[in-house]
Chain A
Amino acid sequence: MSKQRLGQTPSQTVGPFFHFGLPYEGDSNLIVGDAQGQRIVMEGRVTDGNGEPVPDVMIEIWQANAAGKYDHPEDTQAKPIDPGFHGFGRCATDKDGIFRFQTVKPGAVPGPGNSLQAPHLVTFVFGRGMLKQLLTRIYFEDEAHNANDPILGLVPEARRGTLIAHKTAPATYKLDIVLQGEGETVFFDY
């Protein structure tokens, strides 16, 4: 009956030498013009199972705009697209394992059923020593709706904090990504 499915192409590591190969307009700055909403810096440090900084991974984020609208045809909400903002950013960690994005704080977006998801950044980590990318999310500590977020609700309570960025300055949030070990970041099977 059903047509034979084609097999997925396997994932392979991005390797250590991706920097020259993956230039992206805007790169870690998602603001392309007069973006609506609160401009923020989202930064953090990536460490490995030895607690050492990881200087050669690439972080990518995808997020809604300040109104909670994704710039994508499948987001059919009656909310405005923001021409001053595109929701995708890419950042290689520096020699100290630091990543830093300039973006806007996203709005809440619809979740499964009639739920609402608290503002968050969908986050991929690619790197040498990673045969496939890891998926995580970055939430914001100053959002009351975190308590009702349907995805945070799936995460064991003791580990939820690994997904929640702290406000370290009026417009700066920080979340470290721990690939392995003590305080290991929650990664998703997607």
Chain B
Amino acid sequence: MADVIGYNREEKGAQPPSLYLPYKSTEFRAPKQPLVILPHTLSEVTGPVYGHGKVLPIDADLTRQHAGEPQGERIIVSGKLLDENGRPVPNTLVEVWQCNAAGRYIHARDQHPAPLDPNFSGAGRVVTDAEGNYKFTTIKPGAYPWRNHPNAWRPAHIHFSLFGPSFINRLVTQMYFPGDPLFAFDPIYQGIPDVKARERMVSRFDMDSTIPEWALGYKFDIVLRGRNATPMED
């Protein structure tokens, strides 16, 4: 086989360090030894692009997974999955999960004394279309406290898990909402060194995807690593 074409490395400043002491639990989970620089081989530029199982339309509507309507503000989150070269990333799995409008996860280990919502689980899946677009309907998640430091609160966020064309593209991130006053106090958001890069995680309110008398629209585009060399195009 011919040598593979690798992907760009992580963008300095846009990706967090493993050790970031304001986020307390990084202290004993970050490697201390230097990382070994890995060339991209066939093992890295391939990845699971098939066989994500059956993704159903209902998986993209988190407000219809139970008998009744969930509590909270209904929203539509949509956007485009791209690489750094601006190319759409089609036919790839997008997984999302979040807490409910009151700031409570359905997860058994979430002890926050806010109510669970019997009509909201908070997990969804969608596959990007041929142009890299995705869209799902959900409830705006609440902020919630955590124990990182005294009076610590997470800004409202939706977790995103992305695959893309290779295993190297694998990205887990969080989508935030514009203007959240908790950004300044959140060590997970602040863990991204480059202030401009942090803002890439903040969705924007979008009147065009807002559905009258139904749901507010938010746009969140996601950029995965691109090829570090692309074949000449004619």
Contacts and interface: CB of A to CB of B under 8 A. Distances in A.
Interface of A: 3, 5-26, 32, 48-50, 52, 54, 56, 60, 62, 64, 70-77, 86-88, 109-113, 117, 120, 122, 124, 126-135, 137, 150-151, 154-155, 159, 179-181, 184-190
Nearest to A110: B1
Contact of A6 (B30, B42, B50, B223): B223
A14 B16 contact: no
B196 A74 contact: no
A86 B48 contact: yes
Given A6-B85, A20-B121, A72-B166, 4 more contacts: A7-B200, A8-B15, A20-B123, A70-B46
Nearest to B105: A17
Contact of B107 (A8, A19, A130, A131): A19
A11 B47 contact: no
A131 B28 contact: no
B159 interface: yes
B199 to A, nearest CB: 10
Interface stretch (B4-12, B69-77, B130-138, B208-216): B4-12
Contacts of A129: 23-30
Interface residues of B, number: 86
Contacts of A150: 41
B170 A133 contact: yes
Given A20-B123, A128-B25, A131-B191, A12 B173 contact: yes
Contacts, number: 253
A62 B170 CA distance: 11
* Chain B, interface SS category: loop
B32 A112 contact: no
Contacts of B123: 20-23
A185 B29 CA distance: 12
B31 A184 contact: yes
B170 to A, nearest CB: 6
Contact of A25 (B17, B52, B110): B52
Given A184-B31, A184-B32, A5 B50 contact: no
A120 to B, nearest CB: 7
A21 B95 contact: yes
